[in-house]
């Protein structure tokens, strides 16, 4: 994938990954054999470029990453879903390769970015699949723009317990310069970090229940998304937006699938019950030995669940 300046900065973005590193009993993971340059595009939204992966045809499914993430969070889903659906993933402004938004970071602003992206792509309505912050954005859109949402999949969404972040923000702000410098170094050395089992474990233990099971090549693509400028303002926005989310959830009247990991280290699994109880008719799935990122901790199971929900 090209950066805004036209340069490539990783194996996946230049399409040069060779199959073999990430394998299972069924063989190499599908994402390894794809030249992602063929599916990357820049889409202008509110006068700013947004980095987008767009592949396949059919009814659109838009994948929205979480705090500290980027579009490769959905590597296990995009090449599978695109055989029957139009699979789209973006780098939210301030993350991945998308520059910071012109008017600052907010959950409402990210919701407007998604609407602007749908407009630019000529999409009237889409299924939204969001993880963590992306789940909160998806829920917000299902509330504020229900005519643009056909179904919603919330994977460990923020919005309930994350309101407690507010009391920790002063300490987080003080520590942020050092944390940001560390995460940027980790991202810049992602391939070396991912190849070393202990370092890979430390880098991903904040999101995954069993980071040692995540293959090095895949882990490297996740680690490269760390240390982006949108992190702290997005965290602050999650804290403020989550203050009002619980009471607004009953307004969601779209078919909803809620997916959680029982060992989520970031957002407690008890929040799954809140989302399920407040969204009428929603379906809840909780997996054991799974953390905050079920879409790549349990890729094949997640894909099967997602395809069933989309088809049903």
Q: Is 57 exposed, middle or buried (0-12, 13-18, 19+ CB in 10 A)?
A: exposed
What pLDDT digit, counting tens, does each position of 66-100 carry? 999 999 999 999 999 999 999 999 999 999 999 99
Q: Average pLDDT in the 216-231 region?
A: 95
Q: φ, ψ for residue 60 (rounded to 5)?
A: -80, 140
Q: Average pLDDT in the 144-169 region?
A: 96
Query: Residue 18: pLDDT above 90?
Result: no
What pLDDT digit, counting tens, does each position of 122-152 carry? 999 999 999 999 999 999 999 999 999 999 9
Query: Residue 304: pLDDT above 70?
Result: yes
In order of start, what are the domains of the chain with their CATH numbers?
Answer: 11-168+229-311 (3.40.50.1820)
Alpha helix ranges (H) inside the chain: 11-14, 78-81, 107-120, 133-144, 169-188, 190-195, 197-204, 216-223, 231-241, 245-248, 270-278, 294-297, 299-311
Q: Average pLDDT in the 250-276 region?
A: 97
27: confidence class by pLDDT, cuts 50, 70, 90: low
């Amino acid at each position: 994938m090209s950066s805004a300046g036209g340069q490539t900065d990783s194996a996946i973005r230049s399409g040069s990954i060779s199959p073999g590193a990430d394998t299972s009993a069924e063989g190499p993971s599908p994402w390894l054999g794809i030249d992602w340059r063929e599916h990357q595009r820049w889409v202008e939204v509110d006068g700013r470029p947004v980095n987008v992966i767009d592949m396949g045809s059919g009814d659109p499914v838009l994948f929205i990453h979480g705090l500290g993430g980027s579009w490769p969070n959905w590597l296990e889903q995009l090449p599978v879903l695109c055989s029957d659906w139009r699979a789209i993933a973006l780098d939210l402004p301030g993350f991945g390769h998308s520059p910071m938004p012109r008017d600052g970071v907010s959950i409402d602003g990210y919701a407007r970015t998604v609407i602007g992206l749908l407009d630019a792509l000529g999409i009237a309505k889409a299924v939204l699949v969001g993880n963590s912050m992306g789940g909160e954005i998806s829920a917000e859109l299902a509330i504020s723009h229900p005519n643009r949402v056909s179904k919603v999949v919330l994977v460990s969404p923020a919005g309930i317990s994350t309101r407690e972040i507010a009391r920790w923000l002063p300490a987080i702000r003080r520590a942020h310069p050092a944390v940001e410098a560390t995460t940027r170094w980790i991202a810049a050395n992602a391939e070396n970090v991912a190849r070393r089992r202990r370092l890979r474990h430390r880098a991903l233990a904040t999101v995954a229940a069993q980071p040692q099971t995540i293959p090095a090549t895949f882990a490297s693509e996740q680690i490269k998304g760390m240390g982006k400028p949108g992190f702290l303002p997005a965290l602050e926005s999650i804290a403020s937006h989550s203050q009002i989310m619980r009471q607004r959830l009953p307004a969601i009247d779209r078919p909803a699938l809620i997916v959680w990991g029982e060992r989520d280290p970031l957002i407690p699994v008890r929040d799954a019950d809140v989302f399920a109880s407040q969204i009428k008719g929603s379906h809840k799935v909780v997996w054991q030995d799974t953390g905050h990122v079920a879409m790549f901790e349990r890729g094949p199971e997640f894909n099967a669940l997602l395809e069933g929900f989309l088809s049903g």
